[in-house]
Amino acid sequence: MILDVLPERTGGAAENMAADFLLLQRYPRAGVARYRHYGWRSPAFTFGYSQKISFIRGQLPSDGAFDLCRRPTGGGLVDHRDDWTYSLVLPRGHPLEEVRATQSYRAIHEALAGALRAAGVPVTLKPVSEPKTGAEPGGPAGVCFERAEIFDVVHAETGAKVAGGAQKRNRRGLLFQGSIWKPAAGGGALDWDLLGEDFTGRLASTLGAEASPVPWPDLDESEVEGLTGQYASPEWMEFR
């Protein structure tokens, strides 16, 4: 198997979400996974596909300009102003695509936790616990880095959430969108390029694949622009 490692790109919130979704929809290579790390052109927040816009508005900062976009995946509100963002696409029929969502979530985060520990960050995965109602101490449910869920990457000493992710499955395969909150992982003291390289290698090993750098795929520009426009539209943002 092969893990295609795409070049890093920087984009706006709607542009990044459109690119991730089109990598799932229009980049079919049987048995080949696709991975990319990307940046943000301006301060940005994204939120889960099923979240209500009324809740989201109540969690956003009242000052400063930022991009906001509903993701194609689930999960909670994510602050991308100081995070390290990546996505992984597994085609239909890939062994990790066929397992339960909790299993794929755990496998990806185990690879990430291994890279963080190798970089000197003491992390572990949040273990399975009894279901709880309401908000846990530290923040409301639905806000990503204020509350850790099962198999999120958390700081082993403080319990603070370090990394989380969200998934979407359809007939094309699985899209996983992940984020590391830099301040919880050491911020500027960490060599993020080295961490990214190590994570890529560990992820390839988890997938039973060989990592291979590839150029950006030749996606249809009109489709890219159309989907970016859809993700930036009030209709997409406010439909729930």
pLDDT in tens, the chain (240 residues): 899 999 999 999 999 999 999 999 998 678 899 999 999 999 999 999 999 999 999 999 988 899 999 999 999 999 999 999 999 999 999 999 999 999 999 999 999 999 999 999 999 999 986 445 443 445 556 777 777 889 999 999 999 999 999 999 999 999 999 999 999 998 888 999 999 999 999 999 999 999 999 999 999 999 999 999 999 999 999 988
| Annotated domain spans of the chain | 2-237
pTM for this model (two decimals): 0.92
Was domain 2-237 assigned CATH 3.90.550.10? no
Q: What is the pLDDT of residue 68?
A: 96
Q: What is the pLDDT of residue 44?
A: 97
Distance (Å, whole) CA 123 – CA 157: 8
| Count of other CB atoms within 10 angstroms of residue 58 | 9
Distance (Å, whole) CA 96 – CA 82: 29
Q: What is the pLDDT of residue 53?
A: 95
Give the β-pairing of 9-11 and 32-40: parallel
Q: CB under 8 Å to 222, separation ≥6 — which residues?
A: none
Strand partners, 83: 181
Q: What is the pLDDT of residue 136?
A: 42
